Structure 1
Amino acid sequence: MNKTIRIGTRDSELALWQAKTVQAQLEKIGYKTELVPVKSTGDLVLDQPLYEMGITGIFTKTLDVAMLNGTVDIAVHSMKDVPTHLPKGIVQTAVLPRATSTDILVTKGDFDPEQPSTIATGSLRRKAQWLNRYPNHTVVNLRGNVNTRLQKLQDNDWQGAIFAKAGLERINVLPDNFESLDWMIPAPAQGAMVIVALEKDAFSREATSKLNNTEADICTYIERSFLQKLEGGCTAPIGALATCIDDTIQFKGVLFSLDGQTKLEVAKQCSKSDYKTLGTNCAEEILNTGGKELMKVIKSEMEK
């Protein structure tokens, strides 16, 4: 255990929290580590919605390059930010125990959804689901790290903004005024943290694999398989959630039109031993019941 494992991370407060969590767990089992923070394009360009920037894995690409050029040994990511196809030479080594996958609406106090409202989010998935439920509302773009987005909510004339609850809890900034959006299907792998390493780096792969949580690994695999089959390289309003209950896995997946008016959904369950094909099979069901046509429309609208 002489090698020091260099942990690459974005330098936002939440990303550093995640990297330090992995650092503490590795050091607890006897490994030496060093944090190497870097800025990503996604952190530097804040005036444009992510989907308009046309880059897959905008928060992970900089760390991918750092790993491939030998600057860092491993990287820690919010798993929902990671493309379903990893770059050649980089492999997933561990999924940590998953936090809550719930989305929440942070408000400024009393919120009446029956009234015309302006809600902020930078996510196509959240926007589409919100407009599906509240078509009379306006949804505006919101970018930046967690603290920046919370401040923007206070500085603007919006009634609320949508966040992943796990992120706010991790850095202790969960406000008093929030509502859990239990009806909203989360992003695939939301609430999960993933570690990636170079395929040829056997030392780092073995070390980090010791942190893998089997249940989180299985559930996120199903959700990301669903996403990968549906997406085909196109960003789209897709939600997916797999849950382990004893030896059974329950899954729910959704695909929305960009305006939220069209909703395609699937719900299935299987035994834990059959999990490998669940996500793909559910995606195929969506594609065969209107999903292919809807994805074409989404791709066309995104290219405008």
Structure 2
Amino acid sequence: MNKTIKIGTRDSELALWQAHYVENQLNALGYKTEIVAVKSTGDVILDVPLYELGITGIFTKTLDIAMIKGEVDIAVHSMKDVPTALPKGIVQAAVPKRANTADILVQKSDMVFYNAPATVATGSLRRQAQWLHRYPHHNVTDLRGNVNTRLKKLDENNWQGAIFAAAGLERLNFYSGQKVKSPAFEGTAEVLDWMVPAPAQGAMLAVAMEHDAYSREALSRLNDKPTEIATHIERQFLKKLEGGCTAPIGALATFIDDEIRFEGVLLSLDGRQRLYIEKSVHINADYRNFGNLCAEEILQSGGDALMKTLRAQLNKKK
């Protein structure tokens, strides 16, 4: 078989970069590919309710439907946007080597403002909560849109800074060293090394249909095992805590010498309550349940009650 693999992607600049990255890797291995930018859901699969297929992710729903309808063969996502349970019939096929996991503070200048009243922008509840935990005298404000849109909003507003994932800015060649420069913005950046990133931040995920052996075999050649292991642990921690993309949950697994070091955090929306865990396991140990064990410690240390409060608060916002 020598079919052309249709790669589904959203049409944002970053999503297209990720799709072309996978395309270039597949092309180098001799596979034929075609990029298909999917703009709308087609809205329904008429004979089956979407919830029965397990289609839930706000950023992945369109591509899930396109795959199930056979319009594309594979899809490429920012892994942190993907729900921990994939839709029926869709499977994880490759996790390429991870990029920068850090969050960064982007500013118009390098003015130091931490001890003064300030406003920092981010659409992530995880980033908001961690910022308020560290700087309770600051305000946080919502910031949404693609990377260029968010940088433009930062330029136009009287905010002291905004928080971005380093990986996205690096992939678009907007961030290098301590400088950020795009068509919409020019300023400085500081790595927030104290902020625990989102589970799977900096990683991409390529998915395929379970029955599509050709595409799955092709993608398996792009898989990076250390990244697969680390993101498995982080996403398992997230799933055990029953947090979705909006919950203030951070997780990071890293390989240090002969150990896998994990740190995880769960916070209240206002950042006042913070439950943190740091644990290590030997690299040759069975890691498959490590994320669950770490999450269980958080739940037993007050996390269960905090998650109930969070669910009630987030449901009120809907």
Q: SS state of the match for residue 241, structure 2?
A: helix
Unaligned runs of 5+ in 2: 42-54, 181-186
Separation in 1 of the partners of 2:267 and 2:35? 39
Q: Give structure 1 stretches of 5+ with no counterpart.
A: 42-54
- Per mean C-alpha deviation after superposition, the further-off stretch among 246-255 and 225-234 is 225-234
Q: Evaluate the alpha carbon distance shift between residue 113 and residue 39 of structure 1 in structure 2; reply closer, same or farther with a 3 A threshold.
A: farther
- Note if contact 2:119-2:161 (Cα within 8 Å) is conserved in structure 1: yes
Aligned-pair distance for 1:293? 0.2
Q: Deviations over 1:251-295 (max 9, x none)?
A: 000000011000001111001232111110000000011000000
Cα displacement (A) at 1:38: 1.5
AA aligned to 1:58 is: I
Would you say the 8 A contact 2:67–2:74 is kept in 1?
Answer: yes
After TM superposition, the structure 1 = structure 2 runs for residues 141-156 of structure 1, keeping only pairs within 5 Å, are: 141-156=142-157
- Residue 249 of structure 2 is matched in structure 1 by 238
* TM-score of the pair, normalised by structure 2: 0.89
> 1:144, CA displacement in angstroms?
0.4
Cα offsets for 1:120-174 (capped at 9, x unmatched) = 0000000000000001111000000001100000011111000000100100112
Q: 1:185 aligns to what? A: 196
Amino acid at match of 2:76: V
State the partner residue of 1:49.
Answer: none
Q: Distance in 2 between matches of 1:189 and 1:234?
A: 11
Q: Cα deviations across residues 93-132 of structure 1 (Å, max 9, x unaligned)?
A: 1101001100000011113111111100000000000000
Moved over 2 A (4+): 232-235
Q: Secondary structure at the match of 2:287?
A: helix
Aligned counterparts, 1:59-138, within 5 A: 59-109=59-109, 110-138=111-139
Structure 2 SS opposite 1:275: coil
- Mark the CA change 1:86 to 1:284 in structure 2 (over 3 Å): closer, same or farther: same
| Range 12-21 or range 239-248, more displaced | 239-248
Alignment-derived partner of residue 247 in structure 1:
258
CA–CA distance in structure 2, aligned partners of residues 289 and 129 of structure 1: 19
Q: Given that residues 237 and 295 in structure 2 are in contact (C-alpha distance below 8 angstroms), is that contact kept between their aligned partners in structure 1?
A: yes
Matched, 1:259 2:263: no
Structure-1 residue corresponding to 2:172:
171
SS state of the match for residue 241, structure 1?
strand
Work out the number of aligned pairs and report it: 291
Aligned to 1:7: 7
